[in-house]
Amino acid sequence: MTLPSLFVAHGSPMLALEDNGYTRFLEQLGQELPKPEAIAVFSAHWDSPDQSVSVDESHGTMHDFYGFPEAMYELRYPAPGSASLTQQIGQLFDAGNLPYQPVLGRGLDHGVWVILQKMYPNADIPVVELSVDSRRSPAEQYAIGAMLKELRQQNVLVIGSGGLVHNLRMIGQSEEADPWAVEFDEWIAGQLESWKLNELFDYDKKAPYARQAVPSYGTEHFVPLFYAMGAADDDRRAERLFQAYQYGNLSLNCWMFGS
């Protein structure tokens, strides 16, 4: 069975406790997709110059945020790891001449568990977390994702977890979406639907309001998009499954790539 790859916005950690249109969408998405054998997640909250791969047999739950209600710190997502998937990822990185670092004992950050506890609340599907490197070029990030494209044919779900418009210095309390955020998202959507890699790789120069949407201090939230796209390099199709906003411009979107 061949699964798609996904880009999933993880928004605010509070999504873990919220019941809204986006959380209900994620719950439904987990029910509608064929159940994967395992899940590999590139997370914005693991930004490292060394490609890193989790190797835990069972994962702890990182509460890598502060100032939230106490109930947030009580949440756990005790998903198992997968030695076989970790080994296969390592072999694929070796074949692509990509050095990588096995990491033991880190736990799953909230870029992973917040979305997975909505999609797969039983925490019974093995998970391998992978780092991103926001300092690499988009073409390099895409190429790293492409190294894992064959995993999709083995019923492994590859996810990039981040946020296309994610500028915490500009969020407010408006229930209406800020026009600049919408314009940026729609420009990205146009390029994705046509798989215009050259345009997307130069998004920071060509997309409207790119500096507001993807500030220089926050590119790690945007780049999981390229890893997820790369994982569908053999089936270049993109479909937007969901789009909404919180706090005026925090983009909650989900893109599906490939079949």
Model-level pTM greater than 0.85?
yes
- 67 Cβ neighbours under 8 A, 6+ residues apart: none
Tell me the pLDDT of the chain (259 aa) as tens digits.
799 999 999 999 999 999 999 999 999 999 999 999 999 999 999 999 999 999 999 999 999 999 999 999 999 999 999 999 999 999 999 999 999 999 999 999 999 999 999 999 999 999 999 999 999 999 999 999 999 999 999 999 999 999 999 999 899 888 899 999 999 999 999 999 999 999 999 999 999 999 999 999 999 999 999 999 999 999 999 999 999 999 999 999 999 999 7
Q: Residues 11-42: pLDDT tens digits?
A: 999 999 999 999 999 999 999 999 999 999 99
Query: Going from the N-terminus, what domains does the chain have, and what CATH number goes with each?
Result: 5-257 (3.40.830.10)
Closest CA to 157 of 42, 9, 76, 25: 42
What is d(CA 16, CA 81) in angstroms, rounded to the nearest whole number? 21
Instruction: Go through 104-143 and write b for each residue having 16 or more CB atoms within 10 A of its CB, e for each that does not.
Output: eebbbbbbbbbbbbbbbeebebbbbbbbbbbebebebbbb
